[in-house]
Chains A and B, each alone.
Chain A
């Protein structure tokens, strides 16, 4: 089993729709969780950290379920500019991040 697993997609979603991604992780001792966004041929950029209580940043909501070992990302009112690959990232221990392979999202006009 991979340490961090994501559905690779692609997700093709009409503009204005709501889309959700899930990510599962294998190590129950994982400490920190993040969603990064990566545009084609660019570096990953932090979208948001994921906190135990769940957190929201504008149209984006992240949730953490420690009991089931998954995190989710919800995007509401999707925009064309949301088209990207979304990387689920988990911190094991103190320094080493483990990256999922990413979920590719395309917003269709």
Chain B
């Protein structure tokens, strides 16, 4: 089955710790994205990557870092510099060619800072 996987589903972190959220896709999509969703707010873009070894900051990149060493993988690190990290994190991907611009989402990771 083709799709996007995220792990873990739930993650608990102590203040001051860095954590890395996994995102993997086997859809052969070129572009990958990270969003966070907070209650009552729309999804906000953290980072995105259109090709391997390249990525750009989104609207709320402070306190986060990413890497794109493989086409299939786009891990997100939530650092201790992120002041309010508790949120629902969603990874998405899309094919960059053609006219369709739909993004497809993974099941998400719920991060809670204790």
Show the binding face of A for B, using Cβ within 8 Å.
Answer: 4, 8, 31-32, 34, 41-46, 49, 87, 91, 95-102
Contact = CB atoms under 8 A, between A and B. Distances in A.
Contacts of A8: 40
Interface residues of B, number: 23
A42 B107 contact: yes
Interface of B: 31, 35, 40-45, 48, 50, 58, 88, 90, 100-108, 110
A46 B102 contact: yes
Given A44-B43, A91-B101, A101-B42, A96 B58 contact: yes
Contacts of A100: 42
Contacts of A34: 102
Nearest to A88: B42
Contacts of B40: 8, 101
A89 to B, nearest CB: 8
A22 to B, nearest CB: 16
B104 A46 contact: yes
Nearest to A43: B105
Contacts of B35: 99
Contacts of A42: 107-108
B94 to A, nearest CB: 9
A32 B98 CA distance: 13
B58 A87 contact: no
A3 to B, nearest CB: 9
Nearest to A32: B101
A95 B31 contact: yes
8 contacts: A8-B40, A32-B101, A41-B88, A42-B108, A46-B103, A87-B42, A95-B48, A97-B43
Contacts of B45: 96-97
A44 B90 contact: yes
A41 B41 CA distance: 14
Contacts of B58: 96
B48 A49 contact: no
Contact of B48 (A44, A87, A96, A101): A96
A28 to B, nearest CB: 18
